[in-house]
Amino acid sequence: MLIIVIASLKTITVQLYIDSMDLIPSKPKTMGGIGQELFGKGGLLFVTSISSFNFIAFTICYLIVLGKIMASWCVDVFALNEESIFA
């Protein structure tokens, strides 16, 4: 159910991005360009800071999941104790 909600929100976001790109006379190609055209330099900084935060958050989540998978793999394959992995 959560996947459907996320997919529909992503679809709406992309549609809004494409529509706003067509409505702005200078035809910016990036989210930052759209923010700058609509709200000035503050909009550019706001959009890029949100994008940077999302990139860092997704990278951290990815590394957490990868670490748990590798720990589980070490426990299963090498018969190690999980406490000895993270010691």
CB 82 within 8 A of CB 71: yes
pLDDT at 59 over 70: yes
Q: What is the pLDDT of residue 20?
A: 87
Q: Quick check: 73 and 84 in contact, CB under 8 A?
A: no
Domain count, the chain: 1
CA angle 4, 50, 34 (to 5 degrees): 90
pLDDT at residue 60 is higher than 90 = yes
Domain that holds residue 33: 2-85
DSSP assignment, residue 24?
Answer: S
pTM: 0.61
pLDDT over 70, % of the chain: 93
Contact criterion met (CB below 8 Å) for 38 and 23: no
State yes or no: pLDDT of 87 exceeds 60: no
